[in-house]
Amino acid sequence: MGKLNMVKALNLALLQEMERDDAVVVLGEDVGVDGGVFRVTEDLHRQFGGTRVIDSPLAEAAIIGTAVGMALYGLKPVCEIQFSGFAFQCFHQIENHAARYRQRSQGRFHCQMVMRMPYGGGVRALEHHTESEEQFYAHIPGLKMVIPSGPRNARALLASAIRDPDPVIFFEAKALYHAAKEEVPDDIETLPLGRARVDREGSDLTLIAYGAMLRVAREAGEELAVEDGVGVEVIDLLTLSPLDRETLTASVAKTGRAVVVHEATRSFGPGAEIAASIMEGAFLSLEAPVRRVTAYDVSFVGFARERVQIPDVARVVAACRETLAY
């Protein structure tokens, strides 16, 4: 297949899963003829027709509500919400219905569906187009919360999410859609949900990130290696819920120090849960408090100040140096 950006890689995952399984259907606003607002569903309507690639009205609650009914009927819907900031229109359908059917029916019904949502900043978009609100979904029992960090793992994780028997929220960082290309093999690949991976080996500090922040963590790790001579281990979470606590604990037990990076706001954000998990699993190994580098606790700041709100390499490097010097 050659090198693909994340948009093309996600499109490939949808294409291959729809070819593999006739029960997989795609629905959402403009996903059909137009191929989606970011063209992730481009050309699928031509190949599979309007009964499997369905243009919906401008009604997020109807998209998710319809998909819940499809899933209970035996289909495997993949919904697109154009921007994650629009999803509160369908939050009731996600929390009260999609996430609960398995427990509510005592396992007789699974709600097998994927809800794709572009999220985050970096593309100078407007209010409701830029926020990082993954903590809302990671908190809900019954949902899995997946966030890829590159084209190849995005293709593999989306295939796994479509095959998962339970509902999956699939966040896609808009800043990564066209940021880089990776070699993506022709053969179908999957990755297990709920598993983090070590992106960079190190022995002095663990840097934990996901989505678009992985690039920032990588650059910070490289800068610290060159300028300070320290080994930073970078963990790419890939799934927020369930959280891979074993990988986090093993890494911090080795390094003794940890810094968490995310675009979501700080208070009650993913970093709080990650820090608590490290305290529970590796407290006796810690040589410094766990630090967080996050967005600030304010509403959307507008694209003119977006770079101040989103963590950058300088903020991450400064936090790592303070942690190393503790």
Give all strands of the β-sheet with 232-236 in edge-to-edge order: 197-200, 232-236, 205-209, 258-265, 291-295
Q: What amino acid positions are annotated as catalytic residues?
A: 129
Q: Which residue has the tokens 């093993």?
A: 250
Task: Go through 62-97 and write b for each residue having 16 or more CB atoms within 10 A of its CB, e for each that does not.
Answer: ebbbbbbebbbeebbbbbbbbbbbbbebbeebbbeb
Residue with tokens 């593309």: 123
CA atoms within 13 A on the CB side of 192: 7
231: left (phi over 0), alpha (psi -120 to 50) or beta: beta
How are beta strands 239-241 and 3-4 bridged, if at all?
Answer: unpaired
List the beta bridge partners of residue 197.
236
